[in-house]
Amino acid sequence: MASVLGFVLLAACAAPESRPVREAPIAYPPSVRDRLLQIAEAEWREWGGLVVGPGLARLPPGAESATDSFPRVLAYWRAVPDAEAASAVARNRLRWATQLAGAQGPGVWSEPAWSAAFISYVMRRAGVDEREFHASAAHSFYLDAILRDAREFPAQAPFLPHDPPVRVPEAGDLICADRSRRPLASWRDRLPEAGEFRPMHCDIVIRTMPGAAEAVGGNIADAVTITRYATDPDGRLLPRRSGEPFIFAVIENRLGRLPPFSSAPVIARMRGDSPG
């Protein structure tokens, strides 16, 4: 319980003293997690089943500008209901029309980065509503919504943040890394800057095995790709190689694991550093 209190006190320093009362998150059946994993893996297979990670060969740029890729990435962006997504679609529709006409021009979907749109698409297709997952063109902004729910509704929040040394990744979790020059050391460091853009990348864990966790993400080598993260004998993420984005959070996915779909008391699932 102390970790919950500590999270609330820490977050209060970065938030206005008074907030309007928000609707609490709702619970989802276990089938939504299964659908989420099936959709993520199916997208990965459609892109050619690419895998990156320690000891694997570096991949050449992928096929984001290929003919079959246009409707795929278009669908990802259509899952994001904001002005940046609409602008990305408009620019790349024009590039697509130029490409179809046989003219030279910038590669279709070469910008902006679509990895957060991919995560938003998978969540939405799995049936997770906007209230429980805030679809966004930026990982940092949907993470802000996750942290806010974890603070305000620790017993009901569908996603909870953990420091990587504490949380053993499970299928459905998000592994989040900071791509900036001065990366966050922990998810807690995001709280004071909530609402500000920060370059990040998150992947959806689809399976774990001895020595590795495999997670699917978008816009890696210009494709939907599995990243193989090295883990220790207990399954916790190992530090990455120098120069790679720093992993600052593992987001626990509790879809299908909250009452009334789970009889286990929420308090029993607390993990040291987390808010619930």
For 261-274, the pLDDT digits (tens) are 986 544 433 343 44
Residue 13 lies in a domain: no
Residues with Cβ within 8 Å of 253's Cβ and at least 6 positions away in sequence, in order, are 33, 36, 158, 159, 170, 172, 173, 174
Predicted confidence at residue 64, as pLDDT, reads 92
What domain range is 34 assigned to? 28-269
- Based on its alpha-carbon atoms, the radius of gyration of the chain, rounded to whole angstroms, reads 19
- pLDDT digits over 52-106, tens only? 988 777 776 668 989 899 999 999 999 999 999 999 999 999 999 999 998 888 8
- pLDDT digits over 172-205, tens only? 999 999 999 999 999 999 999 999 999 999 999 9
Other Cβ atoms closer than 10 A to 261: 15
**What are the tokens at 131?**
């209230």
Helix, coil or strand: residue 102: coil
Residue 255 lies in a domain: yes
pLDDT above 70 coverage of the chain, percent:
87
Residue 23 lies in a domain: no
Pairing outcome for strands 212-220 and 200-209: antiparallel
Question: Which helix (H) or strand (E) segment is 222 a member of?
Answer: none
Residue 241 lies in a domain: yes
Tell me which residue has tokens 């049936």. 127
Domain count, the chain: 1
* Cα separation, 198 vs 200, whole angstroms: 6
Predicted confidence at residue 274, as pLDDT, reads 43
Residue 10 lies in a domain: no
Residue 5 lies in a domain: no
Residue 67 lies in a domain: yes
Of residues 19 and 252, the one with the higher pLDDT is: 252
Residue 16 lies in a domain: no
This prediction's pTM: 0.88
**Is the preceding omega at residue 169 within 30 degrees of 0, hence cis?**
no
- Residues 158, 129, 33: CA angle, nearest 5 degrees: 55
Does residue 120 register a pLDDT over 60?
yes
> Within 13 Å and on the Cβ side, how many CA atoms surround 47?
30
